[in-house]
Amino acid sequence: MESLESRFDDRFVERALEALKAPRGGWADLFLERFHSERMTLGAGGLQRSSGLREGFSVRRVDAGAQQLHGEEGLQEERILAACGSEGGSTASRDATGAASSPASDSEAPPSSWMEDLSATIAARVPGARGVTIRLEKRRRETCAAHPGAPVRRRRDDRTILILRASIEQGSIAAGGGAGSLRELLDKGRVAEMIAALARQAEHLREAREAPRGEHAILLAPGSGGVFFHEACGHALEADGVLEARSPFRHLLGQRVGPESLGAMDDATQPGLEGSYAVDDEGSAGRGTVLIAKGILKSFLADRLTGGLLGCGTTGNGRRESFMDLPLPRMSNAFLMAGDEDPEAILRETASGVYVHALTAGRMDPASGNFEFKASAGSLIEQGRLTTPLRPFVLSGNGPAALRGIRRIGRDLSFGSGAGACGKKGQKLPVATGLPTVLLGPLEVRPATGFGSPPVG
């Protein structure tokens, strides 16, 4: 398939920018996108294949903080040039958020026998596993973002996601992972890790009992607990919520929000993570932004529009799901920084509480900061040891209060599976979350009945 860059070189983009008419006193930009995906799913209905292609462009015009978006499916030169020269802003009538049909073309797609062998391996290594489903998806997204007076910025992202699911007598289990390619997943032994994770989940659920209701000290495992910071605090540090008075942190810039040992970042330059990029969807360079340093709130995450309104400029976090969406300030790879404590000592010196092996879902009220998280697995902590395994449960609390209640931070920063994604205002984007071992003050614990089971990734 012809690349976006070979089809629309810099000379054409510069020609379009020359025609681009911005509102008086405002500004405008141009965005081109091609997104191709291929999916293979092996389940009860056998092997199914599908593929899709989404391509189009949009022109955005911004005046006094108000945005207008003109988006069109397809990438015809004359229509791009006409839209750049048009005075009015409108929204295309066709829904381009879905993927149009396109024949599969990936020569690296594995043979069906590979997925069948993988299914058999799961059934053999995970006692009691049934109803095994395997989903493999390959994505390629090419974009071009440009505005007058700035260099043309191009980007290509390749991601392969593998999700394994099965059922056992005690419930459903799932594991997932992502990397730049299937070969990378295989070379790093990630598939074997996923199968081992399924086996651990199955063993855990067979022995688990209900979590004890009430308030308990919470010890978050490294990596998989990263959704804690992302949901409890990260969204509240995005600049649109600050401007709309929906963030409990909006008046706390420069003030203490946690202990001196607390640091947090969002960093799009971390190599190999699903939220990484060289340039965002506005053409601004990806970067690392310190959000919290020594417990002091240092920055919010902004795109061009919100950064201008706040007077701080963009932090390179202008992201959009597709050409039909307006950019929003969004996290990329958000994480709590590593501390200097021994994780084993933190556990050993915790007399009682609940250990969270993995958080798989979360929701937060942006205005109040109140949150709920679903933990897919946990264990009781008794006299500094992990004892009784626990069935899925819910943690609830308040984001700012939880930050202030951080007691200890380990030195073992780790990121998630590589298949993370986040939704906001109807736009779903790849993100990574990171966390070292963290001991929190008491949070409310209750069984997860009725919370739901969102998909992995």
Whether 50 has a pLDDT exceeding 90, the answer reads: yes
Which DSSP letter does residue 97 get? S
pLDDT tens digits for 308-352? 999 999 999 999 999 999 999 999 999 999 999 999 999 999 999
The 3-state DSSP class for residue 264 equals: strand
User: What was the pLDDT predicted at 455?
Assistant: 36
CB 383 within 8 A of CB 351: yes
User: ∠ at Cα 368 (362, 369), nearest 5°?
Assistant: 40
Tell me the C-alpha distance between 398 and 297, whole Å: 17
Whether 189 has a pLDDT exceeding 50, the answer reads: yes
pLDDT tens digits for 63-96? 988 999 999 999 999 999 999 996 544 444 333 3
User: What was the pLDDT predicted at 250?
Assistant: 94
User: What was the pLDDT predicted at 109?
Assistant: 67
Tell me the C-alpha distance between 126 and 128, whole Å: 6
Q: List CB contacts of 407: < 8 A, sequence separation 6 or more.
A: 217, 259, 439, 440, 441
User: What was the pLDDT predicted at 147?
Assistant: 95
Residues in the chain: 457
User: What was the pLDDT predicted at 142?
Assistant: 98
**Residue 188, Cα to own-chain centre: how many angstroms?**
21
| Residue of 87 and 60 predicted with greater confidence | 60
Whether 137 has a pLDDT exceeding 50, the answer reads: yes
Whether 21 has a pLDDT exceeding 70, the answer reads: yes
User: What was the pLDDT predicted at 367?
Assistant: 79
In the structure, what pLDDT confidence band is assigned to residue 202 with cuts at 50, 70 and 90?
very high
Tell me the C-alpha distance between 374 and 103, whole Å: 38
Residue 46 has a CB neighbour count (10 Å cut-off) of 9
In the structure, what pLDDT confidence band is assigned to residue 187 with cuts at 50, 70 and 90?
confident
Q: List CB contacts of 154: < 8 A, sequence separation 6 or more.
A: 4, 5, 142, 143, 144, 279
Tell me the C-alpha distance between 255 and 89, whole Å: 41
Nearest Cα to Cα of residue 455 among 395, 374, 369: 374
Tell me the C-alpha distance between 328 and 81, whole Å: 25
Q: List CB contacts of 198: < 8 A, sequence separation 6 or more.
A: 122, 125, 126, 129, 164, 166, 173, 174, 175
pLDDT tens digits for 172-183? 999 999 999 999
Tell me the C-alpha distance between 180 and 240, whole Å: 31
Alpha carbon distances (Å) from 424 to 124, 327, 429: 39, 11, 9
Alpha carbon distances (Å) from 73 to 34, 218, 252, 343: 10, 48, 42, 51
Whether 366 has a pLDDT exceeding 80, the answer reads: no
CATH architecture, range 4-207: 2-Layer Sandwich (3.30)
Long-range contacts (CB closer than 8 Å, 24 or more residues apart) made by 65-73: 65/305, 65/309, 67/305, 67/326, 69/324, 69/326, 71/96, 71/323, 71/324, 73/100
Tell me the C-alpha distance between 83 and 99, whole Å: 23
Rounded to an integer, the average pLDDT of 254-264 is 97
Alpha carbon distances (Å) from 119 to 41, 125, 418: 11, 10, 21
Nearest Cα to Cα of residue 348 among 443, 212, 219, 226: 219
Chain-wide mean pLDDT for the chain? Answer: 91
What stretch of H or E contains 110?
A: none
Q: 């199968």: which residue's tokens?
A: 195
Tell me the C-alpha distance between 102 and 48, whole Å: 15
Tokens for 296, please give them: 């002091």
Which DSSP letter does residue 26 get? -
CA dihedral 72, 75, 79, 83 (to 10 degrees): 50
CB 205 within 8 A of CB 173: yes
In the structure, what pLDDT confidence band is assigned to residue 364 with cuts at 50, 70 and 90?
confident
In the chain, what percentage of residues exceed pLDDT 90?
Answer: 83
pLDDT tens digits for 233-250? 999 999 999 999 999 999
pLDDT tens digits for 398-454? 999 999 999 999 999 999 888 899 999 999 999 999 999 999 999 999 998 766 543
Whether 207 has a pLDDT exceeding 60, the answer reads: yes
Domain boundaries, the chain: 4-207, 214-447
Whether 226 has a pLDDT exceeding 80, the answer reads: no
**φ, ψ (nearest 5 deg) of residue 225:** -90, 5
pTM above 0.85, yes or no: yes
